[in-house]
Structure 1
């Protein structure tokens, strides 16, 4: 058997193993300590004492409530904005412009976006400076707890800003599968308004294809750590942040309670997902009559204006956050309420260069390795699907979303326990594989449509000329998919750069990346240094997307047909 045939045969199973084994073994590794069984720390009998200690933790009910409501509200807002925007502006110039911004917006790591938003909306942030004192009358920063407000409004805002581009990208990939253009044309021909036509004719077929991405958004939002550390409340924090604190407690006995907390976080996320499922059923039952009532318009202009305003605010907040980060990184002296720092200086960047070597190099090495591993497995799995003419089965698609549906703090904590039990040393290798668990789903989602849509006649023509399947793969299929492959690699690299919890837990503090340093600095008092690290965290994914856009044009500058087909 040739190496090509063996690789194609093994790739799907290796991808499934990479996605499922860490999650399953991690959950198994956290269950036993939660009930008292961890011989390495003296736990040699099953007990509920650690659950009792967890119930007595101060503010536990508030932690659970924050995690639960944050997941549901942020997902509901993001999905509503995306659906209204698609309905009101699909097939317009504005829609095309926003579509072009998706890749840059997806390249912004969650932590960098959260740091920028915190610098923008804080009492002494760029927004209050731009309005003071001429409008607000403030000569000093107002005494307002934001970000970090007890209701988690800042946390929800930060999550919505990052979830909108993801759900919009998933919608764009799903629209052709539900024949959106055909349905929309028929509805418009019958006299329906643009938004009503979308909501009645397209959305019922589109949403089933978005269900798993929405569930992934809920799971992430209800259990996020890095964004919650920057934007969320602290007394008490969301449950995932509390679990991380218990894990890092100097008293090793706290790891038993941390295990129980990790399982509780899993239950909270499952409760949020179950609540969303019930909401789905309720909406389906309550809108059945509305879908068939024949009304051609349902406040199209009002809802379209709301969608445009929400998208505009999200983009404006993102761009303003980046502007604030840039100004803080160049600020020498910036007292409130001065609108701009005076003077501007590069000294902050020069002072930061001494400690940037290891975080930057390790982030780049981990990101490149995890992306290459994921890309090889995804291409192998898609090539096997193409050769066998068998699409991905539903259970395999569920496995694909498994790392996104299970709270990372739950199974990563279990992996830490297993890592200690089996004597696996923390280091780059372990962190690379942990990143690949999260990178692979995004690489697959970014590449799958381009791979499936490639005209099969090119391969048939090559085979008719005597080319082997391996030669068709290397000389025909991969060159024609160069641009989508590089785009998927850029998305995977951006996802890896943004990983905080896998690096922190499985690296055991020995592996520092630009993201771990940025999150740590965001909770400190030096905004200038935190801004420098956040911008560098943005620069790495931006470089990846620049290469993804530029390399195909350079490599195939004399073969414009390849760029067109890609």
Structure 2
């Protein structure tokens, strides 16, 4: 039974989506009207600013998030409960996070208003502010802060598998400080184990479209954004550019993934060749990283509050610190328009998260049957390919007109393609670490292998399964390109509507969509937190 289900999962959620994307690019590249040749490549190079900007974003944002996560990670050892702080941050979709961050930190944001109310320095929004509403830097900041909780969660899972405390104690006995031991001994091993999660972050940063539409530069669009725009222009030149751009994205992805495989080795060489500095800078202290943990929690809370205030504000002009009045009028006015995308978002996320989590369990259970504990990296292959070429391929396969019901089905399938790898990432460590002796003892008491799984293993793994489901739910909520392209506008979600409204400059209505988009996964993560609390109470 498990073998059959695993074959179905491989065919439907791994082989079919990847195969269709590759098939589309190959067929389109040799089609007479959209042939990709040297002339097409030279024509695309006129968009060199987009190519360079995309490459910079895919390098700087993942590295920034990675090393910030490594710097903060010792807090997870000293205060394990800090992991609970990751839940509200993970639950905030990228679009909601971007909208909330702009309402907080843009030149006319709440923090500038706060400074002006105290000092009177900014009677008008400051020019040359480091975080403008639309720029490549803004996209980088959003991606660094949003990918940080995911990498911290991956680091937390790895810390449970490594004898980190023993390593640090031995290093300190040799004269290293705690922080020096962390960066020289623990960090290289964590970087090696973070190769696959980092690959997913790199590819997402390279191929992201919704965040640049919201806060990216209007004059220097990223390459993925340009390819997305070209696909909606039906001229032959635009179609050739879109296919060529997809190939360039794949080539950039290959180069970046190749570099990523050598990241840990380069870091190890650099750190071990560097002379030990006995003085500890302030930024390398545990207290400094604790401040960042506190700021991260405050940021998550502030984003929720600012989105709620903006959605309820009737009038809120710069530089006033608080809205003139709060009213439910906007909610009442937009309520009828919110109902349909909210319903689609919830049911798509619920169903695709369920499918993705169950599919991950099937694959992991099949691994246990085969006694194969190695990480199945092909399960994550959808995360290693930019979304634009993949979804272009899916459009090619599904190019015939579809009824509404079938469109919803294909959108659901596309979401499940992305919920599976994230569920697998979260569940893998717990599944591999599960002690086989529990099942052996159950079978010695007369249980069959299937009964032992249902009665022993499943209840003991309910916490990681619940977390995997919550992460998959949040991943589905955040999907933009699959919903926009395969849904053909007939399956609107909170994400597609939030991007559409907020990218047009209407932050007031955009904040309403973003708030509701954030609340759906937040409720799921809160429920998971309650399950954990109940489980701790039962064990104590």
TM-score (normalised: structure 1): 0.87
* 1:137 Cα offset (Å): 3.0
Q: 1:255 deviation in Å? A: 2.7
Question: Does 2:14 correspond to 1:19?
Answer: yes
State the match for 1:287 in structure 2: 271
Find the aligned partners of 2:346 and 2:266 in 1 and give their Cα distance.
46
Query: For the aligned residues, what is the CA RMSD?
Result: 2.7
Q: Distance in 2 between matches of 1:284 and 1:200?
A: 8
For the residues of structure 1 that align with 2:288 and 2:255, how far apart are their CA atoms?
Answer: 30
Which deviates the most, 271-280 or 119-128? 271-280
Q: Which residue of 2 aligns with 1:213?
A: 197
2:132 is matched with: 147
Question: Do the aligned partners of 1:63 and 1:238 also contact (CA within 8 Å) in 2?
Answer: yes
Question: Which one of the candidate residues 371, 381, 384 is aligned to 1:389?
Answer: 371
User: Secondary structure, in 3 states, of the residue corresponding to 2:218?
Assistant: coil
Following superposition, the deviation at residue 450 of structure 1 comes to: 2.4
SS, match of residue 132 in structure 1? helix
For residue 3 of structure 1, what is the aligned residue in structure 2? Answer: none
Tell me, what secondary structure is at the counterpart of 1:485? helix
Q: Is 1:10 matched with 2:37?
A: no
1:473 to 429, 443, 453: 453
Match of 1:303 in 2: 284
- The answer as to whether partners of 2:207 and 2:224 remain within 8 angstroms in 1 is yes
Residue 322 (structure 1) aligns with: 304
| 1:75 to 2:48 alignment | no
The structural deviation recorded for 1:277 is: 5.2
From the superposition, tell whether residues 252 and 361 of structure 1 become closer, same or farther in structure 2 (CA, over 3 Å). Answer: farther
Alpha-carbon displacement from aligned partner over 1:331-369 (angstroms, at most 9, x marks no partner)? 011111000001111111111211112111111111111
Measure the CA separation in 2 of the matches of 1:272 and 1:148.
28
| SS in structure 2 at match of 1:236 | coil
Rounded Cα–Cα distance in structure 1 between residues aligned with 2:416 and 2:502? 26
342 and 441 in structure 1: CA distance in 2 versus 1, 3 angstrom threshold: same
Distance 1:281 1:453, change over 3 A: closer
Q: Structure 1 unaligned segments of length 5 or more: list them.
A: 1-5, 38-42
Alpha-carbon distance, 1:45 to partner = 6.7
Correspondence for 2:107:
123
Query: Shift in Å at residue 484 of structure 1?
Result: 2.4
Q: Secondary structure at the match of 2:364?
A: helix
Shift of 1:143: 4.1
Pairwise CA distance, 1:419 = 1.6
Q: Distance in 2 between matches of 1:45 and 1:226?
A: 28
- Compute the TM-score of the two structures, normalised by the length of structure 2: 0.91
Distance change in 2, residues 1:142/1:31 (3 Å): farther
Q: Distance in 2 between matches of 1:269 and 1:540?
A: 32
Does residue 437 (structure 1) correspond to residue 417 (structure 2)? The answer is yes
Aligned length: 536
Distance, in Å, in 1 between the alignment partners of 2:101 and 2:73 is 26
- Tell me if 1:28 matches 2:23: yes
Cα distance in 2 between the residues matched to 1:142 and 1:289: 44
Deviations 1:259-303 (A, max 9, x none): 21122122223333345556655444333333xx6x484525442
Once the two structures are superposed, what CA deviation does each residue of 1:19-66 show, in whole Å capped at 9, x if it has no partner? 2431232132123324445xxxxx38776554454334xxx1110111
Indicate conservation of the 8 Å contact 2:76/2:156, yes or no: no
Aligned with residue 504 of structure 2, among 517, 521, 524 = 524
CA deviation vs aligned residue, 1:483-520 (integer Å, no higher than 9, x gap): 32222111111111111111111112221111111111
Change (3 A) 1:81 1:54: same
Distance 1:441 1:489 in 2: 12
Contact 1:111 1:498 in 2 (8 A): yes
